[in-house]
Amino acid sequence: MRILLSALLVTVAIFSVSCVEITYPDTSESYTAVSGFEMNIRIPGRPIDSDYAIGTAEWYFWYPYSVCLDDSGNLMVANIRGGYIERFDISAPESPVWVESWKWPRGKSSPTYPLHIAWDGNDLIVSESLDEGNSVEGHQVVRVSLPETSHGLFSDDPIKRNSITDENSADDDIIQQYFQHEDAQPGGVDVSPEGNIVFIDTDNCGIYSYPQAGGDPLAFGGGEGEDSGFFRVPIGLSVDSNGRTIVADTWNHRIQIFSLIEDTDDEDEYTYPYKFKFEDAIGGLGGNNGELSAPYSTTTDAEGNIYVADTRNARVQQYDAAGELLAIIYGDGYWRLRAPLDLVVTPEGDLWVVDAYIWYEPWDDEPSYPEEFARLILFRKN
């Protein structure tokens, strides 16, 4: 099955480049991969081949792409191939327990998928993607009130999609639409300390901020290019505790940091109350300390440290709030990273990383891996 969205097409181009073995540098701090779980397509009656798989035979875990934490500290996972949102109890982090899942509602004319996710109060914020064709439901950012589930995959209460603009549909699970445009592809999404919804438009290289309750956008920034403040196929985004927006500027091989300031320039092409002001950049193409190759996503911790899924370099890099490199994180042996796509830090400091091979081109001494083979890896600071 093909998923026609910019982020995944970018992957094909990135991973088609000839591979060169990377020598990982020593750093002052590091993390160790202590555990993880992986998946194949898991449906009743299908044999389970992996020694590392968890859950029950009804657990449908196929192609994880994005992760976040809910208010209870559970791990939420967006699975784009099956179109599922899943919840895992990670209170015992080295032994995660699958709890439940929700089927993502399909569009009227073509399948749609939950791509990037963030948590806000009791609700999930979702950047939705479209498989192929045209659908009013694709290419949008929505708020979802997850229904109670009884037994996960085959629950009688999946996520519903009705008219989210209809005043009479207040009980629908998709309860708020922030953005929708058939010529855009929303990517990374997060919630600011003020409760605003912030996301990146991967196709059109722009950052948006919307009020929590919906309505007109509060701020815009970016544009296509290589100069500071501009992007080339930006995929990931996060907002730190100080309200700074951290963007994975994927094809420019860097991280860009923005602050939100009042827009007093009446000559701007776009007129919003606020705008994103470029503050700093991290990285640049390469495999050495601090350099990046096609970073897919970012996240931050309570201290303002920045974690980057340095996807093509098969590692995660940790920087402090000022952009100074703290750690190179790549795992070892079986749990060595191959293609990190997304990541989240728990309040205890554990780091969960989505490691999905998606058209991964292995090193010369490595075997090939099937496209539907992926895992989540738990890293702990030394």
pLDDT at 138: 78
Q: What is the Cα–Cα distance from 194 to 244, expressed in whole angstroms?
A: 12
Spatial CA neighbour of 343 closest among 379, 290, 372: 379
Provide the 8-state DSSP code for 184: -
Q: Confirm if 294 and 280 have CB atoms less than 8 A apart.
A: no
pLDDT at 224: 97
Provide the 8-state DSSP code for 152: G
Class of residue 17 by CB neighbours under 10 A (exposed 0-12, middle 13-18, buried 19+) = exposed
Domain locations in the chain as residue ranges: 6-381
Give average pLDDT by consecutive 10-residue segment, the chain, 382 residues. Answer: 44 44 56 79 44 42 86 92 82 85 72 91 91 69 82 53 46 80 93 97 96 94 96 97 97 97 77 93 94 96 96 93 93 86 95 78 52 79 82
Q: Name the CA dihedral angle for 115, 119, 124, 129, rounded to a multiple of 10 degrees.
A: -10
Provide the 8-state DSSP code for 202: T
Residues 6+ apart with CB under 8 A from 167: none
Query: Residue 52: what residue type?
Result: Y
Residues 6+ apart with CB under 8 A from 322: none
- Global pTM reads 0.85
Spatial CA neighbour of 299 closest among 290, 289, 308: 308
The dihedral region occupied by 5, where left means phi > 0, alpha psi between -120 and 50, and beta the remainder, is beta
**SS3 category, 275:** strand
pLDDT at 299: 98
**SS3 category, 14:** helix
Domain 6-381 belongs to what architecture? 6 Propeller (2.120)
